[in-house]
Amino acid sequence: MNRILFFLSIIVFSIFLGSQITEGLLLVPYWKSLSKTEFYEYYSKFGPLIGRFFSILTIIATMIPISISAYCFFNQLSALKYSIVSSFFALLIIAIFYIYFKDANQQFYNVYLNANDLKSALKKWEFMHWLRVLFEIISLVFLIITLNTINEKWEAIDA
C-alpha cells in the first residue's frame, strides 16, 4: 500500500461519515417536520433512492477497514489490533442496519404507522442513526491510527 491508497481510504470513509452526518442534520429534522401524509409521500418518492445511495456507500466504506485488517493479518503488522477495532465498529454499522433500520424503513415504505407512532418511530430512528454515526467516527479514528502505524513502519524500513 502507498500513501495515495491510504488517503483514498480515509477520504472514502470520510465521505460516508459526512453523508451520514448530513442525513442526521438535514434529512431527519426535515422528516420530523412533515405531517404523516407528507412524510409518507416524500418517503415513497425518495426513500428508494436514499436507500440505494447509502447501501452502496456503506458497503464500500465498511469494506475498507476489513480489507486493511486482512492486509495487516497476512503481513503480520502490529497495526492489526487497530484495524480489528476499526473493522469491529464497521461491522456494527452493518449489524445495526439489519437489527433495526431494515424493519424501520420497511414500516415507512408500508405506510404502517399512525401520526403518533410515526413521530415516535422517527425519534427512535434518529437516535439509532446517531449511534451509527458514533460507531462510524470510532471506526474512522482507528482506521487513521492503523494507516498511520503502517506508514510509520514503512518509513522506518525505508530509512
In the chain, domain spans = 3-158
Confidence of residue 151 (pLDDT cuts 50, 70, 90): confident
Judge contact between 46 and 31, C-beta under 8 A: no
> How many CB atoms are located within 10 Å of the residue 141 CB?
14
Query: How far does CA 27 lie from the centroid of its chain?
Result: 16
Predicted confidence (pLDDT) at residue 104 exceeds the cutoff of 70:
yes
Q: pTM value?
A: 0.92
Confidence of residue 154 (pLDDT cuts 50, 70, 90): low
Predicted confidence (pLDDT) at residue 156 exceeds the cutoff of 80:
no
The alpha-helical segments, DSSP class H, found in 75-114 are 80-96, 102-109
Residue 149 neighbours by CB under 8 Å, 6+ apart: 77, 78, 79, 82
pLDDT score of 155: 64
Query: How far does CA 64 lie from the centroid of its chain?
Result: 12
34 DSSP assignment: S
